[in-house]
Amino acid sequence: MEQFADNSKKKKQNRIKNILEAFEHIVDMAKDTNLGPEFFENASVYIRYASRKLALSSMQTVLLALFVDRSEDNSILISEIASYVGCRTTKILRLSSEIDALENKYYLRASRSRNKLSYRVPLDVLKALKDNHPYIYSTEPITDLHAFFDRFNDLMEEMSNDELTHDTLLLQTKEYLAEIKDSYFARSLKRFNLLDEDRLLFVFMAHLFVEDNDDRIGFGDIDRLYDNGKIPNWCKSELRGHTSPLFECKLIENANEDGMARSDRFKLTEYAKSDLLSELNLNIKVKADHSLIKSDSFPEKKLVYNQSEECQISELSSILSAERFCEIQSRLRGAGLRTGFCSLFYGSPGTGKTETVYQLARETGRDILRVDVDKIKSCWVGESEQNMKKVFDRYRNICKDTQLAPILLFNEADAILGVRMEGATRAVDKMENSIQNIILQEMESLEGIMIATTNLTSNLDKAFERRFLYKIRFDRPTEDARTQIWQSMLPSLTENDARVLASRFDLSGGEIENITRKYTVNAILSGQKSIDLRLIMEICQNEHISNSVRTKIGFRI
């Protein structure tokens, strides 16, 4: 009897075609089993097949299958896995070491924000599994100081996304320095015998100088080095009290403002810039360009507009072309008028405002200096205002060093375009007013191109309204426009199917793109090649919460 069971299992294993098929069986069989011994016995054939293919333990294989089954979600919670398999969340938490192993092998990426722990499955992992082979994470070797800072910049982006802990950042930085141990930079740092924390802090400050030419580094910047964005008291105390080893080694100094040294602002010393960073051959122009998003980095996208939007965007694109822009600026200057072009793109979320800016940049060859307002604001008194001034100072310097003025993009600028508070008494309200006054003054003297995007304009300050030369409202797409968007996103759709989707679901372009991405992930996992209209409609229903007509807000041009 045992021999018959073994033969049966071998036949099943021989019939398994790929990892995703094994995962599908594992997920089906895991439901409401509490991941008990009986489940592992019943699913052993499929678990064994996938484990051998991926070189993972049985439990890691089961957990990965459960995460992959939810891979369309970029924020998978452990409680969701527990609910599916019918156990308490604490049981899955007890398996943290197995989940950590998957993360260490880059099958999962974890986001550890201050409120929750969640996971996502990278698209590269899904592609590897679809091709029926294990995912092997690999990176280019770090050969010089340029590559080191490029890689460190990647680490800081992961920190910003809460996908990296401070301890991991500390370890990775140490490993990256070891890869360039023969460089002058690494050898010089080693001579100072700094502790790991102090060395990381200096590397971070050097990174800000290399990337942004930043000579006014505040505690709000340093917060980014630590979990939950909270700088430890010991670090703040050492910097404020001038007792940090970085001062003793002449690597950093206090920044000056109006001839006075600021105890809460720091910068690299001239020695650190000219000596330790000498291998980078830095110059002002290189540092300025480092903060730009290059125009050729935007892939071409066919955007579908309503008629009114199409006319205005076409006109703006023509004006921003290199030849026309110089001519128009010259005539405005000759007439004694302001030469800067400030435009406002406003309307419902997902209607293509930001993507239109990207396509304008691509078409006109203009790079973008993107400003994320939430990163400008700080809890430190006066720092938010200084951050805003730095944005415009940096933009002016870039314009001086480039032939073609880039686009200064304030994305999702709702928070800074609202009506100013009269008689403000709270510190937060005073800060908001100060920031807005700075922007208004800078818009008056701007000689380049500024575009702000916003979802809300019902409370737009009249002073801003006057200063925006072009105000383009992005309405939700009409049925005809939605049909075109569906066909551009999913070229395999027939015109009739696209029309059906457009008529049944009042979706924005952004929502259609999101649905397309979810459908594509499902298609990868299932191996589906032909269009499944029923599945698309199901995803539409989950995406679109309400069919109610949204009230249009703002002003017409």
Q: 423: Cβ–Cβ under 8 A, 6 or more apart, which residues? A: none
Q: β-strand 470-474 against 117-120: which pairing, if any?
A: unpaired
Alpha-carbon span 49 to 47, nearest angstrom: 5
Alpha-carbon span 139 to 156, nearest angstrom: 16
Residue 115 has which token pair? 């409120």
Query: Cβ distance 471 to 296 under 8 Å?
Result: no
Alpha-carbon 192 to chain mean position: 35
- DSSP string across 413-431: THHHHBPPPTT--SHHHHH
One-letter amino acid identity for 135? Answer: Y
The whole-number pLDDT of residue 14 equals: 57
Mean pLDDT estimate for the chain: 84
Alpha-carbon span 464 to 545, nearest angstrom: 33
Alpha-carbon span 56 to 19, nearest angstrom: 12
The whole-number pLDDT of residue 552 equals: 36
Q: How many residues does the chain have?
A: 557
The whole-number pLDDT of residue 270 equals: 87
The whole-number pLDDT of residue 528 equals: 78
Alpha-carbon span 550 to 476, nearest angstrom: 9
- DSSP string across 269-338: -HHIIIIITGGG---HHHHHHTTPBPGGGSPP------HHHHHHHHHHHHHHSHHHHHHHHHHHHHTT--
Over residues 462-493, the pLDDT tens digits come to: 888 888 888 888 888 888 888 888 888 888 88
Identify the architecture of domain 295-474 in CATH.
3-Layer(aba) Sandwich (3.40)
Q: What's the longest Cα–Cα distance across the chain?
A: 98
Which band of pLDDT confidence, cut at 50, 70 and 90, is reported for residue 13? low
What is the enclosing helix (H) or strand (E) of 368? strand 368-372
Alpha-carbon span 95 to 88, nearest angstrom: 12
Over residues 104-154, the pLDDT tens digits come to: 998 998 887 656 788 999 888 999 999 999 999 877 889 999 999 999 999
The whole-number pLDDT of residue 347 equals: 86
pLDDT above 90 (res 165): no
Query: In the predicted model, what is the mean pLDDT of residues 382-393?
Result: 77
Q: Name the nearest CA neighbour of 514 among 538, 489, 546, 497.
A: 489
CATH class of 2-130: mainly alpha
Query: Cβ distance 270 to 347 under 8 Å?
Result: no
The whole-number pLDDT of residue 284 equals: 39
Over residues 335-346, the pLDDT tens digits come to: 888 888 999 998
C-alpha torsion 201→207→209→210, nearest 10: 160
Distances (CA, A) of 359 to 317, 354, 365, 412, 509: 9, 9, 10, 17, 15
Domains 2-130 and 295-474 share a fold: no
Residue 492 has which token pair? 């395999």
The domain segmentation of the chain, as residue ranges, is 2-130, 145-282, 295-474, 479-543
Alpha-carbon span 86 to 424, nearest angstrom: 54
The whole-number pLDDT of residue 309 equals: 84
Strand partners, 408: 369, 450
Residue whose entry in the numeric block shows the structure tokens 């049909």: 483
Alpha-carbon span 476 to 518, nearest angstrom: 21
Alpha-carbon span 452 to 411, nearest angstrom: 6
Which band of pLDDT confidence, cut at 50, 70 and 90, is reported for residue 39? very high
Strand partners, 434: none
Which band of pLDDT confidence, cut at 50, 70 and 90, is reported for residue 371? confident
The whole-number pLDDT of residue 449 equals: 94
Share of the chain above pLDDT 70, in %: 88
Alpha-carbon span 314 to 293, nearest angstrom: 22
Which band of pLDDT confidence, cut at 50, 70 and 90, is reported for residue 247? very high
Predicted model pTM = 0.47
The whole-number pLDDT of residue 115 equals: 66
Query: Cβ distance 355 to 395 under 8 Å?
Result: no
Query: Cβ distance 134 to 53 under 8 Å?
Result: yes
Query: In the predicted model, what is the mean pLDDT of residues 454-460?
Result: 73
pLDDT above 90 (res 2): no
Residue 60 has which token pair? 């890691």
